[in-house]
């Protein structure tokens, strides 16, 4: 396996005035290998989108490094850097409603990357846009329409075409299906899957829906309050979660099966995710953890291989 | 048949006048719930779930909306279009409602405790002091920590999950006989969702209220429902006990929904089967079955005739609006309709 994106000790703080800062991403290290899909899950506000955007240079890094292959990506992107990396790394944005400019036609939206980052002429651009519309299951004659004329699922496809037309190698998909109906989610997931195979893409797939993430991903990473608490192959993380937070996530995930839901014990977690402004000392999950130990409130657990298995990492003193 | 149930809706039809024409949002919907029972209403965006329950609550804006037929009986009394019964507004008192977006239904300029207290003063004649004290108890009941302090805070000071719980507290303040919850957890994380669902189940057990739960998440349905109504293009296409609808699905749309979702089984390597196409235009609803254009088993008749409710057995009230269930229909095996492809 060849590392494609290597994230080391990445930190992203947002200063929000009055000497307060949001610890949105706090010391995250993760290696994403060529051709794999890494699923990133975690509660709202845990820093998933910020991590994705910081990897791509859409936010400046507070500290830490991101390497693409062997090349260290800039701390702060300039226009020329976007120019240089746009063709290799792209993002599909969280919200299919607000992420498409309502005043641009579909052709302009999808073709924009080519116009900015390639020397294709306008005829070539139109051809490529038509080809990608077909590829994502829309029609070439949709080109002159505006985003509001499309359903949520269709807009998500437009977002996918826009990100993929440059044929990038690495794509951050930020909740590409959350706003969609079940029947349309399957369309979009299958579409991503087949394009991934065709183009040999590597994906960071951010989502809330654990069942879908397990289904889509090769590996899964679980984020809590800016930190990764567990990383590993998708099936073991989903079926035999090690971190108490992952355990609560998977046991809260309702399955479309009345019989197994009847036998599910109530597992409600107590408390709320703490504010990322006042990060508690020690393990960030300690206040809500059913298995908390005195040590957890003093020291911060680091991601370590679980039972010596380097593929499976967990940040929890239970496994020391 | 269902009129002796606590709440029964029959032959409800609702239209909206819009610039594009008349939207037939709900077309002949009937259902009923009894005390202590949860009915889940599922279906994709725009199929008429919210409009159905908003009609019962008298919340359809008229114009542009119009209820063209139907009744909604609470304990045998028609409340459709006249929510004031015996001088009392049944909304809030007899039927509580939780909305998808708590921010739109809570008053941003009033503290949470006063908002809950207000319904108690209006409907139960509590004094301001009694009502506020009860509001604090209700916030404790929905597990808001430090309820007395929180009651004095405003909606913007609450997280999404806490707002949703505060809204449940408001909805159950007057101990309504029916709780209508329109996507109560869609905007929430799974962990908070589990809290809210557990809370609703506890309340149902303790007060024997009926719950109508709207959702498009079949996992939530499996966890909560006794009965399930599957809606498509303004109609209920399948309804029955939760086990019947999940394990003996009798409408191609229900099967399609299930095939589109991942199964949590590490051995089964399947590919998701999407439902091709999109729901019909409700400006011009199809003459026959609403699902016809997307249905892999559609027959000629489906195009022209609205399928009636075909009973699936003599002993249950499980029905499907699908001509495949017609006794004379040549036996198409429904379980092969959306076979999950086995990938190599
Ligand atoms: N531009 C910004 N300025 C200040 N704070 C920010 C900014 N962007 C994000 N945050 C904060 O950083 C934290 C992480 O946010 P982020 O959007 O990355 O979370 P997320 O995991 O993607 O959540 P969701 O599941 O809701 O999309 C949150 O507390 C958020 O409020
Ligand atoms: N005030 C209104 N004016 C015009 N049309 C309306 C109005 N309210 C609802 N509709 C239409 O009625 C139909 C049913 O809408 P409804 O809100 O009941 O859908 P839903 O099943 O609740 O969908 P969702 O899952 O997206 O909430 C839609 O076509 C919608 O556009
Ligand atoms: Mg996000
Ligand atoms: Mg709705």
Distance A42 CA to ligand 1 centre (A): 12
Ion ligand 4, residues whose Cβ is below 5 A away: B 50
Q: At what angle do helices B190-207 and A244-252 cross, to 10 degrees?
A: 50
Task: Using only the alpha carbons of chain A, give its radius of gyration.
Answer: 20
Six-digit token pair at A34? 């060529």
Residue A299 above 70 pLDDT?
yes
Higher-pLDDT residue of B329 and A110 is: A110
Can you give the pLDDT at residue B18? 83
Q: CA A186 to CA A178: how far, in whole Å?
A: 11
Distance B45 CA to ligand 4 centre (A): 7
Tell how strand B7-18 and strand B21-33 pair up: antiparallel
Higher-pLDDT residue of B340 and A290 is: A290
Chosen for mutation from B216, B240, B262, B263 (greatest number of chain A CBs closer than 10 Å) is B262
Q: CA B293 to CA B256: how far, in whole Å?
A: 13
- Range in A31-45, A209-223, A266-280, B220-234 the model is least confident about: A266-280
B223 touches A at CB < 8 Å: yes
Residue B344 above 60 pLDDT?
no
Residue B333 above 70 pLDDT?
no
- Closest residue by Cα to atom 6, ligand 1, is A14
Query: Best mutation site among B9, B16, B64, B182 for ligand 2, i.e. most ligand atoms within 8 A of its Cβ?
Result: B16
Distance B4 CA to ligand 4 centre (A): 28
List C-alpha distances in Å: B327 to A293, B313, B322, B331.
64, 12, 11, 9
Q: CA B46 to CA B60: how far, in whole Å?
A: 15
The strands making up A170-174's β-sheet, listed across from edge to edge, are A89-92, A170-174, A202-206, A37-41, A219-224, A227-233, A309-314, A304-306
Distance A207 CA to ligand 3 centre (A): 8
Residue B269 above 70 pLDDT?
no
- Closest residue by Cα to atom 27, ligand 1, is A44
Can you give the pLDDT at residue B340? 47
Using a 6 Å cutoff on CB, does residue B119 contact ligand 2? no
Q: CA B10 to CA B83: how far, in whole Å?
A: 16
List C-alpha distances in Å: B238 to A292, B7, B333.
47, 19, 17
Per the CB < 8 Å rule, is B274 touching A184?
yes
Using a 6 Å cutoff on CB, does residue B23 contact ligand 2? yes
Using a 6 Å cutoff on CB, does residue B91 contact ligand 2? no
Query: Best mutation site among A17, A45, A58, A276 for ligand 1, i.e. most ligand atoms within 8 A of its Cβ?
Result: A45
B197 touches A at CB < 8 Å: yes
Residue B40 above 90 pLDDT?
yes
Higher-pLDDT residue of A248 and B185 is: A248
B243 touches A at CB < 8 Å: yes
Residue B213 above 80 pLDDT?
yes
Chain B contacts in chain A segment 142-171 (CB below 8 A): 151-153
Query: Best mutation site among B9, B14, B46 for ligand 2, i.e. most ligand atoms within 8 A of its Cβ?
Result: B46
Per the CB < 8 Å rule, is A44 touching B260?
no
Whole-number average pLDDT of chain B:
87
Chain A contacts in chain B segment 57-96 (CB below 8 A): none
- Range in A285-294, B150-159, B187-196 the model is least confident about: B187-196
- Read off the pLDDT band of B141 (50, 70, 90): confident
Span A57-70, average pLDDT: 94
Per the CB < 8 Å rule, is A254 touching B260?
no
Can you give the pLDDT at residue B306? 93
Q: CA A156 to CA A99: how far, in whole Å?
A: 10
List C-alpha distances in Å: A18 to A15, A21, A23, A45.
9, 9, 15, 21
Tell how strand A37-41 and strand A219-224 pair up: parallel
Six-digit token pair at B142? 């929905």
pLDDT tens digits, residue range A177-203? 777 788 778 888 888 888 888 888 999
Can you give the pLDDT at residue B331? 60
Per-residue three-class SS string for chain A: CCEEEEEEEEEEEEECCCCCEEEEEEEEEEEEECCCEEEEECCCCCCHHHHHHHHCCCCCCCEEEEEECCEECCCCCCHHHHHHHCCCEEEECCCCCCCCCCCCCHHHHHHHHHHHHCCCCHHHHHHHHHHHHHHCCCCHHHCCCCHHHCCHHHHHHHHHHHHHCCCCCEEEEECCCCCCCHHHHHHHHHHHHHHHHHHCCEEEEECCCHHHHHHHCCEEEEEECCEEEEEEEHHHHHHCCCCHHHHHHHHHCCCCCHHHHHCCCCCCCCCCCCCCCCCCCCCCCHHHCCCCCHHHHCCCCCCEEECCEEEEEECCHHHC
pLDDT tens digits, residue range B45-69? 889 999 999 999 888 888 899 999 9
Can you give the pLDDT at residue B241? 97
Higher-pLDDT residue of B340 and A35 is: A35
Of B195, B218, B266, the CB nearest to A235: B266
Per the CB < 8 Å rule, is B223 touching A264?
yes
Give the number of C-alpha atoms closer than 13 A to the C-alpha of residue A35, restricted to the C-beta side. Answer: 5
Residue B341 above 70 pLDDT?
no
Q: Say what the pTM is.
A: 0.88
* Of B37, B26, B33, residue with least CA distance to B7: B33
Can you give the pLDDT at residue B342? 38
In three-state secondary structure terms, B330 is coil
Q: Are B36 and B204 in contact (CB under 8 A)?
A: yes
Can you give the pLDDT at residue B190? 86
User: ipTM of this predicted complex?
Assistant: 0.85
pLDDT tens digits, residue range A114-149? 888 888 899 999 999 999 888 887 888 888 888 888
Looking at domain A3-88+168-319, its CATH architecture is: 3-Layer(aba) Sandwich (3.40)
Six-digit token pair at B173? 């303040």
* Of B94, B72, B86, residue with least CA distance to B171: B94
Q: CA B170 to CA A55: how far, in whole Å?
A: 43
Spans of all domains in chain A: 3-88+168-319, 103-165
- Read off the pLDDT band of B339 (50, 70, 90): low
Residue B178 above 90 pLDDT?
yes
- Range in A189-198, A300-309, B155-164 the model is least confident about: B155-164
Q: CA B96 to CA B167: how far, in whole Å?
A: 10
Q: CA B339 to CA B329: how far, in whole Å?
A: 21
Span A247-255, average pLDDT: 91
d(CA B108, nearest CA chain A) in Å? 22
Cβ neighbours of A44 (radius 10 Å)? 15
Six-digit token pair at B152? 């004095």
- Read off the pLDDT band of A108 (50, 70, 90): very high
């Amino acid at each position: 396996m060849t590392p494609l994106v290597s994230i080391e000790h990445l930190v992203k703080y947002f200063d929000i005035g009055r000497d307060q800062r949001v610890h949105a991403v706090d010391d995250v290290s993760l290696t994403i290998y060529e051709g794999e899909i890494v699923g990133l899950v975690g509660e709202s506000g845990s820093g998933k989108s910020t991590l994705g955007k910081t990897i791509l240079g859409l936010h400046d890094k507070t500290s830490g490094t991101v390497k693409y292959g062997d090349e260290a990506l800039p701390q702060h992107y300039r226009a020329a850097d976007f120019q240089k990396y746009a063709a290799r790394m792209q993002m599909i944005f969280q919200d299919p409603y607000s992420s498409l400019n309502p005043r641009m036609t579909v052709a302009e939206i999808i073709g924009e990357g080519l116009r900015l980052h390639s020397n294709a002429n306008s005829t070539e651009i139109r051809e490529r846009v038509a080809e990608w519309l077909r590829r994502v299951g829309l029609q070439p004659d949709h080109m002159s329409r505006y985003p509001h004329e499309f359903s949520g699922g269709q807009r998500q496809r437009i977002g996918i075409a826009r990100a993929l037309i440059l044929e990038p190698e690495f794509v951050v998909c930020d909740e590409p299906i959350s706003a969609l109906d079940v029947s349309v989610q399957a369309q979009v997931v299958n579409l991503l899957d087949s394009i991934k195979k065709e183009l040999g893409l590597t994906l960071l797939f951010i989502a809330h829906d654990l069942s879908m993430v397990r289904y889509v991903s090769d590996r899964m990473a679980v984020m809590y309050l800016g930190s990764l608490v567990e990383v590993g192959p998708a099936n073991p993380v989903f079926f035999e979660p090690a971190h108490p937070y992952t355990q609560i996530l998977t046991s809260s995930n309702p399955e479309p099966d009345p019989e197994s839901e009847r036998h599910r014990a109530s597992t409600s977690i107590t408390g709320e995710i703490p504010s990322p402004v006042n990060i508690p000392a020690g393990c960030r999950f300690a206040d809500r953890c059913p298995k908390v130990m005195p040590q957890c409130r003093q020291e911060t657990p680091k991601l370590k291989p679980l039972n010596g298995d380097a593929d499976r990492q967990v940040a929890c003193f239970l496994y020391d | 048949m269902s009129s002796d149930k606590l709440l029964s809706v029959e032959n409800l039809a609702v239209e909206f006048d819009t610039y594009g024409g008349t939207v037939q949002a709900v077309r002949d919907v009937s259902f009923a719930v009894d005390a202590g029972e949860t009915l889940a209403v599922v279906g994709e965006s725009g199929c008429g779930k919210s409009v159905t329950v908003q009609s019962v609550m008298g919340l359809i804006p008229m114009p542009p909306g119009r209820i063209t037929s139907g009744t909604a009986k609470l304990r045998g009394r028609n409340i459709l279009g006249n929510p004031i019964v015996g001088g009392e507004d049944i909304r809030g008192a007899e039927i509580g409602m939780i909305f998808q977006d708590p921010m739109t239904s809570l008053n941003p300029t009033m503290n949470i405790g006063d908002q809950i207290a207000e319904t108690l003063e209006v409907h139960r004649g509590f004094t301001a002091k009694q009502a506020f004290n009860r509001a604090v108890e209700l916030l404790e009941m929905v597990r808001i920590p430090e309820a007395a302090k929180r009651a004095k805070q405003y909606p913007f000071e609450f997280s999404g999950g806490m707002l949703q719980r505060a809204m449940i507290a408001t909805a159950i303040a007057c101990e309504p006989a029916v709780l209508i919850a329109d996507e109560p957890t869609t905007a929430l994380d799974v962990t908070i969702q589990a809290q809210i669902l557990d809370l609703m189940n506890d309340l149902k057990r303790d007060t024997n209220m009926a719950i109508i739960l709207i959702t498009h998440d079949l996992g939530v349905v499996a966890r909560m429902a006794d009965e399930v109504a599957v809606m498509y293009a303004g109609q209920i296409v399948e309804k029955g006990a939760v086990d019947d609808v999940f394990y003996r699905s009798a409408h191609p749309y229900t099967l399609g929904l299930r095939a589109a979702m991942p199964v949590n089984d590490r051995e089964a390597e399947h590919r998701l089967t999407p439902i091709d196409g999109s729901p019909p235009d409700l400006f011009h609803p199809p003459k026959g079955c609403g699902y016809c254009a997307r249905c892999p088993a559609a027959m000629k008749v489906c195009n022209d005739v609205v399928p009636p409710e075909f009973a699936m057995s003599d002993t249950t009230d499980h029905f499907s609006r699908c001509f495949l269930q017609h006794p004379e229909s040549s036996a198409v095996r429904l379980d092969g309709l959306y076979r999950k492809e086995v990938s190599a």
